[in-house]
Amino acid sequence: MYSTITDIVHRLYLYRKKLNKKQEEMCKIFNVTQGYYNKLENGQHLLSFHCLQALYKEGGDVYYLLTGQEYHPGILDTYISKFQDTKEIARFLKLLIWTTEQGMDRLHLENREELHSMWKYVSLAENEYITKSIWINIRKAEELSQLEMAELMDINIKRYRRIEKMDSLPDAVILATLYEKLSYSPLLFLENKLYFPDIINRIWETFPEALTQELISFLDDGVHLISEKSIKSIDNF
């Protein structure tokens, strides 16, 4: 946990420098006093969920602070806004993963580990046990007990249970640890949506333009079929 705290503190400092802002300006964004913000950069305080929310609402790159990577909008963001229903989202994610694999096959790209982690989000989107607590969904998808989740997050069981019940909010270290250990994006918690991994976006950035256009044509056909299937389901109901 200490190394995670150190990494977040260092990235917070680098991010402020990148924005060319003084501490006084940052404390206004986080809605904290200058003294409190100074302790955030010194590692004496942890970035709270409320601080992360405040930064996110201002357009700040929370994804970078917690993961070390800048979020890359791309193909996923372009299409996902077309769907509202989680079942439609699950169908589209399956289609997108398969289409991405075809593109990687064409380019003879072998490393599929990151892409396979996308199936976690499919599981969250399609399972019927969706609840108000994303933590319960994740724990069930991973088939872990509350004690195992607490140990994974390096916190005591009482604190984990409060977080799962949403009686307590996760701080930056917990969200960063969840990403490091289980690959779940911290942005899931800031907007409570199930489709924020930018893994596919980054893969598609490596595709040549001609291949991208060919795959997009296939995706467009798939989106039409998914939407048509949903309309028929409503009509039958």
Indicate whether this model's pTM tops 0.85.
Answer: no
Instruction: Give me the chain's average pLDDT, please.
Output: 86
List domains and CATH numbers for the chain.
2-67 (1.10.260.40), 75-204 (no CATH)
**Confidence (pLDDT) at 233:** 47
For 64-92, letters b (16+ CB in 10 Å) and e give bbbbeeebbeebbeebbeebeebebbbbb
**Confidence (pLDDT) at 185:** 85
Give the CA angle between residues 16, 20, 23 to the nearest 5°. 50
**Confidence (pLDDT) at 197:** 65
- Dist CA 172 CA 68 (whole Å): 12
**Confidence (pLDDT) at 150:** 97
The pLDDT tens digits for 134-190 are: 898 889 888 999 999 999 999 999 999 999 998 999 999 999 999 999 988 888 888
pLDDT tops 80 at residue 192: no
Total count of residues recorded for the chain: 237
The pLDDT tens digits for 17-45 are: 999 999 999 999 999 999 999 999 999 99
pLDDT tops 80 at residue 230: no
Closest CA to 192 of 138, 141, 149, 153: 138
User: Mapping DSSP to helix (H, G, I), strand (E, B) and coil, where does residue 7 land?
Assistant: helix
Which tokens belong to 41? 């950069």
- Dist CA 141 CA 133 (whole Å): 13
Closest CA to 189 of 134, 146, 136, 123: 134
User: Mapping DSSP to helix (H, G, I), strand (E, B) and coil, where does residue 142 land?
Assistant: helix
User: Mapping DSSP to helix (H, G, I), strand (E, B) and coil, where does residue 137 land?
Assistant: helix
pLDDT tops 90 at residue 13: yes
Longest dimension (CA), the chain: 61
Place of tokens 């980054």: 202
**Confidence (pLDDT) at 195:** 57
For 18-27, letters b (16+ CB in 10 Å) and e give eeeeeeeebb
Which tokens belong to 230? 């949903």
